[in-house]
Amino acid sequence: MIVEQINKFKNRDKIPKYTREIKEETKSNVLKAKVLERYQYLKCDYCGDEIRLDLKQEDRKGGIVPFPHSFTKCGKIELALCCKCLKAVIKEFEEKNKNEANND
């Protein structure tokens, strides 16, 4: 999945950060709703889950992971990944490298 989209990730300048607002429930649509909470998050490049940036680094579900040229074979790439997807992405890159080595 990541291997097919590698050019898209290679050509982007930086990983986009999104902002989410949680608003107070009101019965009237005329009143301006009060914002209870506002936070920034990243979207996981593999599964699309939300990685909140307002939490401490130890409590986050993931973060930005740099992959060197020696691993990707197409330059340094930074991906936003959650912890559960990291192993799957590493496995994909290893299989790609193994297939390229067998073809040579």
**88 within a domain of the structure (yes/no):** yes
- On whether residue 64 sits in a domain, the answer given is yes
pLDDT, residue 10, reads: 86
Residue 1 lies in a domain: no
Tens digit of each residue's pLDDT (9 = 90 or more) over 42-70: 999 999 999 999 989 889 899 999 999 88
Q: Is residue 50 within 8 Å of 63, Cβ to Cβ? A: no
The position carrying tokens 């898209």 is: 8
Domain that holds residue 40: 6-103
| Domain membership flag for residue 82 | yes
Domain count, the chain: 1
Query: Which residues lie below 8 Å from residue 26, measured CB to CB, with a gap of 6+?
Result: 33
Encoded tokens for 100 = 């390229």
Q: Over 80: is that where the pLDDT of 74 sits?
A: yes
pLDDT of residue 104: 65
